[in-house]
Amino acid sequence: MTRLLDAQGISKSYGKFQALKRVSFHVDDGEFVSIVGPNGAGKSTIVNVLSGLARPDGGMVEFMGQSIAGVGPVRLGQRGMARAFQLVNIFPELTVGETISVAVTARLKRVSRIWRAARADREVQGEVARVAAVLGLEQRLDVVAMHLSQGEKKLLDIASALALRPRLILLDEPTSGVSSGDKFDIMDLLVKAARAEGVRGIVQVEHDMDLVARYSHRIVALQEGCVIGDMPPDRFFTDPLMLSAVIGKIGPVQEEVEQPC
């Protein structure tokens, strides 16, 4: 099985605070991996390290066999890994079509003429329309992003990431702020769209255990910057120690989870 992402012994500190302590995990071709843990566990830090926003103090991160430590999101996108960056919050006055075109023109290396390309370039417009259709946004291309529903904003974030044609995508709580009744519809569409666009692996940081249980192939559990578990959902959700450590659900056994780091 092809290994898409391999993180070994990742450490990261901010001053005296050690956010990550020799964290190791991997993502194989075809896997959906969820990273879970309580507040302060290091989830956001590991995503920032994986997406090139933060350089680790120690350890190794490889994507498709090449080191990506600290390369930055632009170069990382060119190599085939994308993160949903919530561009709606960055460019709230752009339309759906314009927001997606930002990613399309970046992938086609036409950033220097981004707005002219977005309006006049047939290749860009074709790609924007195609990606929008995959996520059901084809009728919303002219709508200003700030006027979208919360669910549509989430889909637009994903569309911008998929427009980079990544092999692996990083998601940080992809349905946060979305109603409980809509979250599975959005995730179903997201996963279907990712497969249609050739995405070979998904890593998500998520606190909603319903989503984690339904979509994950493996769950990587963090606590205080350490990996305390890496297992399939059936094992995770039947392990009282893991549930207690990660989500505060107390099982029949009252013990401390062993800290491997």
| Residue 20: CATH number of its domain | 3.40.50.300
Please report how many Cα atoms fall inside a 13 Å half-sphere around the Cα of residue 190, on the Cβ side: 30
pLDDT value, residue 116? 55
Number of Cβ within a 10 Å radius of residue 179: 11
Domain range holding 64? 1-69+206-261
Q: Can you list the alpha helix ranges (DSSP code H) found in 16-143?
A: 43-50, 73-79, 87-90, 96-107, 114-120, 122-134
- Does 28 reside within a domain? yes
Does residue 26 sit within a domain? Answer: yes
Identify whether 80 is part of a domain.
no
Show pLDDT as tens, one digit a residue, over the chain (261 residues). 678 999 999 999 999 999 999 999 999 999 999 999 998 899 989 989 998 888 999 999 999 999 988 888 778 888 999 988 766 677 888 999 999 988 888 887 765 555 555 556 788 889 999 999 999 999 999 999 999 998 899 999 999 999 999 999 999 888 888 888 899 999 999 999 999 999 999 999 998 999 999 999 999 999 999 999 999 999 999 999 899 888 775 444 334 444 456
Give the whole-angstrom CA distance, residue 57 versus residue 149: 40
Would you state the pLDDT for residue 73?
A: 79
**Contacts with 84 (C-beta within 8 Å, 6 or more apart), sequence order:** 157, 158, 160, 161, 169, 170, 171, 172, 174
- Residues, the chain: 261
Could you tell me the pTM of the whole model? 0.88
Note the pLDDT of residue 115: 54
Residue 245: the pLDDT is: 85
* Residue 259 is assigned to a structural domain of this protein: yes
Residue 147 lies in a domain: no
Report the 10 Å Cβ neighbour count for 249: 12
For residue 142, is it within any domain? Answer: no
User: Is 75 domain-assigned?
Assistant: no
Q: For the chain, how many structural domains are there in total?
A: 1
Count CB atoms within 10 A of the CB of residue 69.
16
> What is the secondary structure of 114-178 as a DSSP string?
HHHHHHH-HHHHHHHHHHHHHTT-GGGTTSBGGGS-HHHHHHHHHHHHHTT--SEEEEESTTTTS
Q: How many CB atoms lie within 10 A of CB 187?
A: 22
pLDDT score of 110: 67
Give the model's pLDDT for residue 250: 45
Q: Considering the domain boundaries, does residue 197 fall inside one?
A: no
Residue whose C-alpha is closest to residue 135's, from 208, 173, 185:
185
